[in-house]
Amino acid sequence: MIKFFYAPGTCALASHIALEEVDATYEAVRLDFSAGEQLQPEYLAINPKGRVPALVTAQGILTETPAILAYIAQTHPLAMLAPTDPFAFAEVQAFNAYLCATVHVAHAHKMRGSRWADEASSIEDMKRKVPQTVGAAYDLIENGMLRGDLVMGDTYTICDPYLFMASRWLDGDGVPADRHPRVRAHMARMAQRPAVQAALAQQNAK
């Protein structure tokens, strides 16, 4: 059985949803970030980055959301969460890489500016910039990268739980709700999926 490490309110939600979508057999392990459990030796032995998600498999440990999503899709091919055509799969990976490397980093400037700067004024400047940088990233998603009701058009893929997860940060990042109606509609549709509801129920459980 695979073991999945997560913390509520983090990007681990995307992988959690994917595990539910494929009906995987897994053990979910919740980390309390407020208590610093992600920095304890027991977890650092699993993921030295001290972050989530982490997926412990029979072959080894995976970290980073795009890698975990691809692994879930490819080890559960009947669920068809990723295309088998190499170019189409590369397009899926390109979208997920954009969420990981651009959208998530822009969002992180709001609360983790100390990763990039030491001066308090610089950190505050990064915080003020978040609505602009995150909003601009979602402009690209809204006006080209989002191909239809689903990210890749009319086929559900591992891009969809990832976009849903990241889009849940928009309000807190100060991006107006009416700026990206297609993204918001995607969020609403995703919220109705049983796998999304199951993952959220686990993460919200006390």
Decide: residue 129, CB within 10 A, 0-12 exposed, 13-18 middle, 19+ buried.
middle
CB atoms within 10 A of CB 159: 28
CATH classification at residue 128:
1.20.1050.10
pLDDT for the residue 122? 85
Instruction: Answer yes or no: do 107 and 189 share one domain.
Output: yes
- Among left, alpha and beta (phi > 0; psi -120 to 50; other), residue 132 is alpha
pLDDT for the residue 77? 98
Instruction: Answer yes or no: do 66 and 10 share one domain.
Output: yes
Instruction: Answer yes or no: do 94 and 42 share one domain.
Output: no
Which run of H or of E encompasses 87? helix 86-98
Instruction: Answer yes or no: do 71 and 91 share one domain.
Output: no
Are 40 and 50 in contact, with CB atoms under 8 Å apart?
no
Instruction: Answer yes or no: do 112 and 159 share one domain.
Output: yes
Please state the domain count of the chain. Answer: 2
pLDDT for the residue 194? 98
pLDDT for the residue 133? 97
Instruction: Answer yes or no: do 51 and 95 share one domain.
Output: no
**Domain range spanning residue 69?**
2-79+196-204
Instruction: Answer yes or no: do 189 and 94 share one domain.
Output: yes
Question: What type of residue is 51?
Answer: R
Distances (CA, A) of 48 to 10, 89, 109, 132, 174: 17, 29, 22, 32, 32
pLDDT per residue of the chain (206 residues) written in tens, 0 to 9: 899 999 999 999 999 999 999 999 999 999 999 999 999 999 999 999 999 999 999 999 999 999 999 999 999 999 999 999 999 999 999 999 999 999 999 999 888 878 887 898 988 988 899 999 999 999 999 999 999 999 999 999 999 999 999 999 999 999 999 999 999 999 999 999 999 999 999 999 86
Instruction: Answer yes or no: do 183 and 95 share one domain.
Output: yes
pTM: 0.96
pLDDT for the residue 59? 97
Instruction: Answer yes or no: do 172 and 103 share one domain.
Output: yes
Instruction: Answer yes or no: do 72 and 150 share one domain.
Output: no
pLDDT for the residue 115? 84
